[in-house]
Amino acid sequence: MVYGQTGNSGRELARPVHGGDWQGAVEKYGWQPEEILDFSANINPLGPPAGVLETLQQNLQVIQRYPDPQCRQLKKALASYLQVDPDAVIAANGATELLYLICQALKPRRVLIPEPTFSEYRRAALVAGAEVVTMELYPASFFALDIARWRQNLARVDLAFLCNPNNPTGQLLERAALEEIVDLCQRYGVFLLVDESFLDFLPNWPELSLGSRAAAREGLLSLRSLTKIFALPGLRLGCGVGHPELVARLEARRDPWSVNILAQIAGAVALADREYLEATRELIRQEKEYLYHRLARLAGFRPYHPEVNFILTEITASGLTVPQLAAHLARERILIRDCSSFPGLGPAYFRVAVRERGANQKLLAALEKAVEES
């Protein structure tokens, strides 16, 4: 399926819906922020590392200075963590900044996007004037990516987006499949952007990341998000890993000082906290299985097995839609992500983040109550 440019109507250029709109809930329901149990945003339930909060409190006065436009200390920390050369790293105001930057730099004519997936890929392509070629992922195959169909579409495009693990479906491609996808893109001359924003929740992420390969060759960019793993969505922080020539090309086109000074400080401190990362991965390992299996036992719901810190779920109870479910959960101050805005998902799909045990139990109780009352 091909979607043309939308410069005249602007319909598809409308801002996509995202989770984490706690301000909207405060305004709509009159809640206090601390009352909200937000399962709509896929953020580390541990909150920011303690060392980050302490360092920020001690350095608030630096906001009177300009941030380093080259992000020197942050790039060194990122390069050390990702095991690549600093020249292969570009820091960003969230990984999403790089989606738009790569489209502006490459000016693709046609962009391949497997969907359902993160909505900003489509918008970044359309803003750059490209056509979007959609490759549908199907519930019957658990939203798995069919590499044969991927190959068939490559001859029609010059840029492809791939989210691994995919948001919102949670599907994870293993290394062999990733290598095949990269090789196919290289053969067809298609630039590949791989969004690895949720990969850090996995202890074996180095085996799955394409960062090292992206640093060594043209035609590939790997994105990472510090927002999710370190619970820093309010600061906005991410990075890309690519060939140094590509990184220099992107740096030349970006806005100056796009990464604020507090975000740079927080990122460098957070990346050094390996105990926090280990604790996070262990918590998610336990709680994603707990939440998934409890959801699977609830009448009226079909969860898809998670790889990381969120679970896509289908409502199978007759007569209950996600908007109705969300209204039930709002009585308990609980927010979920309505997935009907994702292409390929209808009003029966929602996504929940994996949180700590007590919060997960409250969600499960509220879901069971909603089905009973529907």
Strand-strand pairing, 37-38 and 334-335: parallel
Share of the chain above pLDDT 90, in %: 88
Cβ-Cβ contacts under 8 Å for 224 (sequence gap 6 or more) = 78, 82, 95, 196, 197, 199, 200, 211, 238, 239, 240, 241
SS (H, E, C) 62-127: HHHCCCCCCCHHHHHHHHHHHCCCHHHEEEECCHHHHHHHHHHHHCCCEEEEEECCCCHHHHHHHH
Q: What is the DSSP letter of 217?
A: S
Give the per-residue pLDDT at 27. 85
Give the per-residue pLDDT at 315. 96
pLDDT tens digits, one per residue of 7-22: 334 456 777 888 888 8
pLDDT tens digits, one per residue of 292-307: 999 999 999 999 999 9
Mean pLDDT of the chain: 94
Give the per-residue pLDDT at 7. 37
For the chain, state the CA radius of gyration: 20
* Amino acid type, 346: G
Give the per-residue pLDDT at 374. 78
Answer with the residue of higher pLDDT: 63 or 8.
Answer: 63
All domains of the chain in start order, with CATH = 17-47+275-373 (3.90.1150.10), 50-272 (3.40.640.10)
* Amino acid type, 200: D
Which residues does residue 113 pair with via DSSP β-bridges, in sequence order? 134
> Mean pLDDT across the stretch 135-150?
96
Nearest to 136 by CA among 348, 314, 345, 310: 345
Give the per-residue pLDDT at 6. 39
Give the per-residue pLDDT at 3. 42
Structure confidence at residue 100 as a pLDDT band (50, 70, 90): very high
Asked whether residue 88 carries a pLDDT value surpassing 80, the answer given is yes
Which residues does residue 240 pair with via DSSP β-bridges, in sequence order? 90, 223
Give the per-residue pLDDT at 12. 62
Structure confidence at residue 248 as a pLDDT band (50, 70, 90): very high
Identify whether the C-beta of residue 166 lies closer than 8 Å to the C-beta of residue 117: yes
pLDDT tens digits, one per residue of 174-231: 999 999 999 999 999 999 999 999 999 999 999 999 999 999 999 999 999 999 999 9
Asked whether residue 250 carries a pLDDT value surpassing 60, the answer given is yes
